[in-house]
């Protein structure tokens, strides 16, 4: 961890650095608000899953800095592509938290989910690395059109073993596409540790094979994550092409609510990484800088709790969308005849008018089978 770019010290041995140019007091506070909102969403979602009110959920506890930092560096016109691990990132681009919670419940509103184009946020991507070529595609389209659209895709260390990662990296570099590849190296791909995933010492060095910069950063430091993304974006907008960022951290939480990491790793290790988690570090850093007080921190927390509580009520009032949506957004030109036929057939199958809300599991682990895996 010692060779990584970092701004937030530990108040003792590790010194603090002044925030980088471009992050004023109000920006730091806003980023802090984002972190608190992400954390509040995540903790609430886990509780909802335990109560049987949403399905299996992929938590990101401890990885909030790898989400809020880079997103804060991007412009609203830039596209971002989350994996399941950044599942609530769209709420920071104006998507109601209720829509995202409802996605985890099985349906996210009238249209199934949010419209990616409206918010420039790709759909939550569950298949590993398949969204990376998409991120390159939208930024390449922007380049062809001559606008300034850049893109960023989040993915894990495990995703770097997928062909899609290599294809996207190659394509982006050859065509000098303004894409940021943001790898959250949490050192685990479910039960597979990093050492069994790759023979390289770091993920960042994989960038050399594609002749692009590869940058390592403390993934538990949101400000460092902001800074490297900000610089990569500058290069991208200058026509210098893509960057691979490796945000080094640790998956403190289980892979998802259906996972029990005690079966494959020593949980004492996770405990050792816990003090480095971004929210308490950022809060202490801002307090040392005199930007945040106990009172303002409590106020921010209270607002986030209120927002998410309202989202939970709203989520539970969203009714099941009509079956049409399965067919309506496949082609821009509308439904071809075979879709009409399939829809007629689907409608002829008897089903209850209302889908019952998920009940609490009847036995431990019930309702947990393979959702995000």
Ligand X SMILES: Cc1ncc(C[n+]2csc(CCOP(=O)(O)OP(=O)(O)O)c2C)c(N)n1
The catalytic residues are 251, 255, 264
Half-sphere exposure of 91 (CA within 13 A, CB side): 26
| Cβ-Cβ contacts under 8 Å for 120 (sequence gap 6 or more) | 76, 77, 78, 79, 80, 93
Within 72-160, strands assigned E span 79-81, 151-156
Q: Pick one of 188, 210, 226, 250: the residue that binds ligand X (CB under 6 A).
A: 188
How far are the Cα atoms of 13, 79, 199, 315, 328 from residue 106, in angstroms, in the given order? 47, 25, 38, 11, 18
63 scored as a contact of Mg ion (CB under 5 A) = no
Q: Evaluate whether 187 touches 119 at the Cβ level (below 8 Å).
A: no
Q: Pick one of 19, 62, 142, 158: the residue that binds ligand X (CB under 6 A).
A: 158
CB of 247 to ligand X, least distance (A): 11
73 scored as a contact of ligand X (CB under 6 A) = no
139-147, 148-156, 233-241, 279-287 -> range binding Mg ion (CB under 5 A): 148-156
10-18, 113-121, 125-133, 266-274 -> range binding ligand X (CB under 6 A): 125-133
Q: Pick one of 156, 214, 222, 261: the residue that binds Mg ion (CB under 5 A).
A: 156
Nearer to ligand X, 142 or 214 (CB): 214
Residue with tokens 């000098």: 176
246 scored as a contact of ligand X (CB under 6 A) = no
The interface partner of residue 373, options being Mg ion, ligand X, none and the CB cut-off 5 to 8 Å by kind, is ligand X
Structural element, H or E, at residue 69: helix 65-73
Rounded CA-CA distance 358/128 in Å is: 27
Residue with tokens 């109560």: 51
Query: What is the number of helices (H) and of strands (E) in the chain?
Result: 12, 7
Half-sphere exposure of 370 (CA within 13 A, CB side): 2
The interface partner of residue 91, options being Mg ion, ligand X, none and the CB cut-off 5 to 8 Å by kind, is none
4-12, 47-55, 183-191, 287-295 -> range binding ligand X (CB under 6 A): 183-191
Helix, coil or strand: residue 288: helix
CB of 189 to Mg ion, least distance (A): 5
27-35, 184-192, 223-231, 299-307 -> range binding ligand X (CB under 6 A): 184-192
Nearer to ligand X, 73 or 189 (CB): 189
Nearer to ligand X, 7 or 84 (CB): 84
| Phi and psi based region of residue 129 (left: phi greater than 0; alpha: psi -120 to 50; beta: remaining) | left
Nearer to Mg ion, 17 or 190 (CB): 190
Residue with tokens 């409590």: 298
128 scored as a contact of ligand X (CB under 6 A) = yes
Q: Which residues bind Mg ion (CB under 5 A)?
A: 156-157, 186, 188-189
Q: Which residues bind ligand X (CB under 6 A)?
A: 85, 126-128, 155-159, 184, 186, 188-190, 251, 255, 372-373
């Amino acid at each position: 961890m010692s060779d990584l770019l970092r701004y937030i010290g530990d108040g003792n041995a590790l010194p603090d650095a002044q925030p980088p140019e471009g992050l004023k007091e109000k920006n730091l506070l806003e980023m802090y608000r984002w972190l608190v909102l992400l954390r509040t969403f995540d903790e609430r979602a886990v509780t909802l899953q335990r109560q049987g009110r949403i399905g299996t959920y992929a938590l990101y506890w401890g990885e909030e800095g790898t989400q809020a930092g880079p997103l804060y560096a991007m412009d609203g016109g830039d596209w971002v592509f989350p994996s399941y691990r950044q599942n609530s990132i769209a709420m920071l681009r104006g998507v109601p938290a209720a829509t995202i919670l409802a996605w985890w419940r099985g349906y996210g509103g009238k249209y199934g989910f949010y419209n990616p184009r409206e918010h420039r946020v790709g759909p939550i991507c569950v298949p590993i690395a398949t969204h990376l070529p998409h991120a390159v595609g939208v930024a390449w389209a922007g380049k062809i059109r001559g606008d300034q659209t850049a893109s960023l895709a989040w993915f894990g260390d495990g995703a770097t073993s997928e062909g899609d990662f290599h294809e996207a990296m190659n394509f982006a570099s050859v065509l000098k596409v303004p894409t940021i590849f943001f790898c959250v190296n949490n050192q685990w791909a479910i039960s597979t540790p990093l050492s069994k995933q790759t023979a390289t010492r770091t993920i960042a060095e994989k960038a050399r094979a594609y002749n692009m910069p590869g940058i390592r950063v403390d993934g538990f430091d949101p400000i460092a994550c902001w800074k490297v993304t900000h610089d990569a974006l500058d290069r991208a907008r200058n026509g210098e092409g893509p960057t691979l960022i490796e945000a080094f951290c640790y998956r403190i939480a289980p892979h998802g609510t259906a996972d029990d990491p005690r079966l494959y790793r020593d949980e004492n290790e996770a405990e050792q990484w816990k003090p480095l988690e971004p929210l308490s570090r950022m809060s202490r850093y801002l307090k040392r800088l005199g930007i945040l007080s106990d009172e303002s921190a409590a106020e921010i927390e209270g607002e986030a709790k209120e927002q998410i509580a309202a989202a939970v009520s709203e989520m539970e009032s969203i009714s099941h969308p009509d079956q049409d949506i399965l067919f309506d957004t496949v082609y821009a030109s509308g439904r071809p005849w075979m879709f009409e036929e399939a829809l007629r057939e689907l409608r002829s199958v008897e089903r209850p008018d209302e889908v019952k809300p998920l009940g609490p599991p009847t036995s431990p682990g019930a309702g947990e089978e393979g959702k995000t895996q």
